[in-house]
Amino acid sequence: MAWILAATLAVLLATASLAWRLRRQRELLRAENERWRVLARERAARVAVVSHEVRTPVSLIGGACELLLDGAAGPLTRRQESLLDTIRVKSDEVGELARTLLTDAKIDAQIFRLNLSMVDPRRLATEVVRDLRRLYPNRITLSARGAIPRLPGDRDLLRQALINLITNAARHAGEGVRIAVTVRPSDDGVLVTVSDDGTGMSAAERRELFTKELAGTTDTGTGLGMLITRRIVELHGGRCLIDTMADRGTAVVCALPRTAEARPQLTEEGR
């Protein structure tokens, strides 16, 4: 009997020791996760300040260019109009980059709140294409046919995602490339496609398309904008698909569901 008691005691001690180790590991993991959340929130706060400080003067620059192009300061030469148009386009791109960086930081810090409403994809695409045609005239077409359903989503985020897709195509695919935006109903929601007839991507570029590392090494800024676009689509329960071939152009298809059931839950503290 003594050996049975000894064996039982040994098992109990081993179990208690294992339970203590597991509890300690959970505590350490919880503390490490909290440390990373604090760091992410501090980063988001810094990015928010920088984003505001960048967007304010950039907006003023863009507004001044619009006034000059409208002839507020007198007639312009073609050379002056071309230079002002370049300044206007680039100031808008910097503003969008600041918004993209802020969105990325807030998602990382888990302090992002989806402001859900019923969104009309056709109207949203029409507004985005109309605005971007000012920056890229005679390059963007829109096709939105069929009975396109309204979707539950964050309108501002979906607008940002579509702007990212179009501006990425305009900047990455090459000068004079035609960009086609299509919105179609699908069995369970809506398909939004942005395609171009540009240079396309190699297999290696496609693999790195949704990585932050690419955003730091490319001259076009492709990586970050596409990464945020995918994250926005996934926040809405959807997914992004890429169809591309070198020298044949690229098509990015975003599938958005009709319902909100698949959307992940975030720890939300406001926008």
Q: Decide if 237 contacts 160 (C-beta within 8 A).
A: no
The rounded distance, in Å, linking the Cα atoms of 202 and 244 is 8
d(CA 100, CA 147): 31
Which residues, including other chains, have CB under 8 Å from residue 225's CB and lie 6 or more apart? 97, 100, 164, 167, 168, 215
Quote the pLDDT of residue 216.
40
pLDDT tens digits along 170-191: 877 667 788 999 999 998 899 9
Residue of 196, 136, 204, 206 whose CA lies nearest to 169? 196
pLDDT (tens digit per residue) in 210-261: 665 444 444 444 456 788 888 899 989 999 998 887 777 889 999 999 875 5
Q: 114 Cβ partners below 8 Å, 6+ apart?
A: 153, 154, 157, 235, 236, 263, 266, 268
Per-residue pLDDT reduced to its tens digit, 36-61: 666 666 666 666 666 666 777 888 88
The yes-or-no verdict on residue 265 having pLDDT over 50 is no
C-alpha of 94 from chain center = 15
What are 53-85's pLDDT values in tens digits? 677 788 888 888 888 888 888 888 888 888 888
How far is C-alpha 157 from the chain's CA centre?
8
Contact 211, 224 (CB under 8 A): no
How many CB atoms lie under 10 A from the CB of residue 207?
A: 11
> For residues 33 and 156, which has the higher predicted lDDT (pLDDT)?
156
The two three-digit tokens of residue 249, written as one number: 């152009």
14/49: higher pLDDT = 14
Query: Alpha helix locations (H) across 212-261?
Result: 212-217, 222-235
Q: 251 vs 84, 133, 192, 197, CA distance in Å?
A: 31, 19, 10, 9
The 10 Å Cβ neighbour count of residue 11 is: 10
Query: What pLDDT shows up at residue 219?
Result: 44
Counting Cα atoms < 13 Å in the Cβ hemisphere of 80 gives: 11
Report which listed range, 42-46, 57-61, 93-97, 144-148, is most confident. 144-148
Query: What are 103-136's pLDDT values in tens digits?
Result: 776 676 666 677 888 999 999 999 999 988 888 8
Report the pLDDT value the prediction gives residue 41, as an integer from 0 to 100. Answer: 67
b (16+ CB within 10 A) / e for 113-151: ebeeeebbbbebbeebbeebeebbeebbebebeeebbeb
Report pLDDT for 257.
Answer: 93
Mean pLDDT of the chain: 78
Give me the residue label for tokens 């959970």.
26
| Tokens found for residue 110 | 């888990």
Q: What is the structure's pLDDT at 68? A: 86
State how far the Cα of 101 lies from the Cα of 48, in Å rounded to an integer.
9
